[in-house]
Amino acid sequence: MNTDVRHEDAVAVIMLDNPPVNGLGLVTRQAVWDAVERAEADGAVSCIVLAGAGKLFSAGADIREFGTPTAYREPNLLSLIERVQSCKKPVVAALHGTCVGGGLELAMGCHYRVAAPGCQIGLPEVKLGLLPGAGGTQRLPRALGVEAALNMVVSGEFMKSERIAGLAGQRLIDQMATSESALLNEARAFAQSVAQARPMPRLRDLDCQHPQGDGFFAFARNSVKQAMPKYPAALACVNAIESATRLSFEQGMAKEREIFLGLMDTPECKSLRHLFLAERNAAKVPGVAPDTPERAVKRVAVVGAGTMGSGIAMNFLNIGLPVALIDNTTEALARGVASIQKNYQAQVSKGKLTEERLAQRMGLLEATLSLEPLSQADLIIEAVFEDLLVKKEVFGRIDAMAKPGAILASNTSTLDLNVIAAATARPADVVGLHFFSPANVMRLLEVVRGEKTAPDVMATVMKLGKRIKKTPVVSGVCDGFIGNRMIEQYIRQAGFLLEEGCTPRQVDQAIEKFGFAMGPFRMGDLAGNDIGWAIRKRRYVEKPQIRYSPIADALCEMGRFGQKTSAGWYDYQAGRREAIESAVVGQMIAKYRTDHQITPRQVSEDEIVHRLVFALVNEGALLLEEGIAARAGDIDVVYLMGYGFPPWRGGPMHYADSYGLDRVVHAMKRFAQNPMDDATFWQPAPLLRQLAQQGGSFTGGVTP
């Protein structure tokens, strides 16, 4: 914290200085408090500017303090804001970069606000399962008007300062600075201009009403309940803002506080906070120093113009990098280019992309039969057929053409990256980049670190992953990496459940009710059941001791590959995605049971959900033990971003922690007694057993 009092203009500048985001943790809060006290007492100071050091004003309360007593220790954020507001000298907040959450609440406690252009302003607490708990729900409607404030608080989205400044009647921004670099000087000048003005304005004193309050809030509540039924915070935001319109400021503040404290302990809030930190921790690669120099990536080549290859190419075109898309037939290239063009065109139709941008992006794309562009590329991504021999051969050719220092990446989803890397003379330059389909949409990127992958290659692809707006998560080498290795166990369980008495719809509905975006059978129909079939055929040879339900094979033998054949676990009408229960599949399953003398039983929803989810958890525990996944949070991020796991449950490992690992182990022992299941699989992974015995958790380790 650094307080700079320049006596020549009588302005004290207090700098929030708590890298990386000027979070308002206890030390920072105390430092601002002390600085305000000093400035107030200093006869040479007539006004104060509160600004942020570095790239932003403040990202708000220190999320890492949540759940610890420090979060509430005095001066807490509320007391600090009250102290600033009651300062006898005007306090001007100078906003730049980002001013969100508690940072905005602090700024709203100041008497004036000067904002730099481009400053992102918002109250994103709802995304953490909270509401703004330091006056945000009470001051923002007074500053922006009830409707604009409600939209901002319920969506958690940020708005640029210049847009806010343009809103009719807004009182949030008193003056726009001409530029970010001019902000501090202009805020000083502004502070001087109001130094003697009394009474000092306070947002809390403004009127706060909605002309059709009853109707408006009833509508808002209904919309939120429908759009976000699993997020109590969203509804709580509406209620708190309604209080701002109906109660006195003090009463409204008390209401907000009560709701805030209640939300902090909800499972949803704990899950969302866990995911926020997990997502950011996932970017930290063990053994790779944060300052590891990156390799420059200015040109990309993608080998394979199929669905994956063309989707992958779009990610780089989107950030303005030239991409060479290479395939060995003109038909394949034409299909790849057409699919890219079609995707961009759809964005243009939705108004998300301009024709000009579309043309720019297509202009960066070179579709070619020649391997020549490989010699120019800094990053080469192989996206050919998922077959080890094919990939090794392609990597041999890439190795022969690529320039020294180029990064050679494989988009394999299951194969041994070390074997692929060994097909080149430069295994240190080889890495896995496992994009998820559709590759231009899905945010997950599994970065597979081979045993020889160089640290600077890891550093480069992790940063590049962020640049293309993915969430990169590192996985070690194993069959299926983190996501697919776990999903295989989940799908095995789904198969056993069919044998025992469930219909595909029962299984899907139970897990969708739990919150998954899609159950295993609908997912199979979407991805193509033939893909799983190919993997199982490989497994029957490699791991004959592992049992899979043969019902899925019988389905594929009937040619029911899913949506693409208009028939899979469900029936589909041409051109429609709606899954219709299939009589044919029902008969096929019934016949299987008869042939195998299985008397179907009623399986409870709870058993369906826990067999599926704990299958993920046990495999996840093995991945942690083997070091394939570095942290439980990484697994949760993979499942959130790539597999439709419900965010409000925090991912499979967090869910297991909150369910209680001893209860998970207990349930697994019960499942192991089911003769129709796989007793060997249900032996708890040693890590799980140990944590359960010691009262520990995957995400927190063992608590002493």
Residues at the site binding ligand 3HC, with contacts judged by CB under 6 A: 20-21, 23, 59-64, 77, 98, 100-102, 105, 124-125, 128, 132-134, 136, 280
Nearer CB in complex with ligand 3HC: 133/524? 133
- Separation CA 526–CA 644 (nearest Å): 13
**Token pair belonging to 373:** 């562009």
- Separation CA 141–CA 136 (nearest Å): 8
- Say if residues 39 and 32 touch (Cβ distance below 8 Å): no
**Token pair belonging to 181:** 């670099």
- Separation CA 440–CA 437 (nearest Å): 8
Peptide bond into 229 cis (omega under 30): no
CB of 59: closest distance to ligand 3HC in angstroms?
A: 4
- Please name which of 530, 696, 675, 678 lies closest in space to residue 624, comparing C-alpha atoms: 696
Three-state secondary-structure class, residue 463: helix
Three-state secondary-structure class, residue 50: strand
Q: What letter does residue 703 receive in the DSSP assignment?
A: -
CB of 81: closest distance to ligand 3HC in angstroms?
A: 10
Q: Which residue is nearest to ligand 3HC (CB)?
A: 101
Region of residue 559 (phi > 0: left; psi between -120 and 50: alpha; otherwise: beta): left
Residue 548, C-beta contacts closer than 8 angstroms, at least 6 positions apart: 492, 495, 536, 539, 540
- Separation CA 551–CA 568 (nearest Å): 12
Nearer CB in complex with ligand 3HC: 254/371? 254
- Separation CA 166–CA 56 (nearest Å): 22
Catalytic residue among 65, 125, 256, 499: 125
DSSP 174-240: SEE-SSTTTHHHHHHHHHHHHTT-SSPP-GGGS----TTHHHHHHHHHHHHHHH-TT-HHHHHHHHH
Biggest CA-to-CA distance, the chain: 94
- Separation CA 525–CA 589 (nearest Å): 17
CB of 420: closest distance to ligand 3HC in angstroms?
A: 31
Nearer CB in complex with ligand 3HC: 125/186? 125
- Please name which of 177, 12, 35 lies closest in space to residue 97, comparing C-alpha atoms: 177
- Separation CA 311–CA 661 (nearest Å): 39
CB of 519: closest distance to ligand 3HC in angstroms?
A: 32
In whole angstroms, how far apart are CA 469 and each of 139, 319, 465? 33, 9, 6
Q: What letter does residue 433 receive in the DSSP assignment?
A: E
Nearer CB in complex with ligand 3HC: 136/304? 136
Nearer CB in complex with ligand 3HC: 273/536? 273
| Active-site residue, 382 included | no
Helical (H) or strand (E) element with 276: helix 267-281
b/e burial code for range 200-218 (CB count within 10 A of at least 16 → b): bebbbeeebebeeeeebbe
Q: What letter does residue 294 receive in the DSSP assignment?
A: P
- Say if residues 127 and 150 touch (Cβ distance below 8 Å): no
- Separation CA 36–CA 34 (nearest Å): 5
Burial of 414 (0-12, 13-18, 19+ CB in 10 A): middle
Catalytic residue among 105, 186, 488, 499: 105
Peptide bond into 75 cis (omega under 30): yes
Sign, CA dihedral 119-124-125-131, equals: positive
Nearer CB in complex with ligand 3HC: 63/383? 63
Neighbours of 197 (CB within 10 A): 12
- Please name which of 123, 179, 131 lies closest in space to residue 148, comparing C-alpha atoms: 123
| Active-site residue, 268 included | no
- Separation CA 534–CA 538 (nearest Å): 6
- Say if residues 228 and 210 touch (Cβ distance below 8 Å): no
Nearer CB in complex with ligand 3HC: 48/63? 63
Catalytic residue numbers? 105, 125
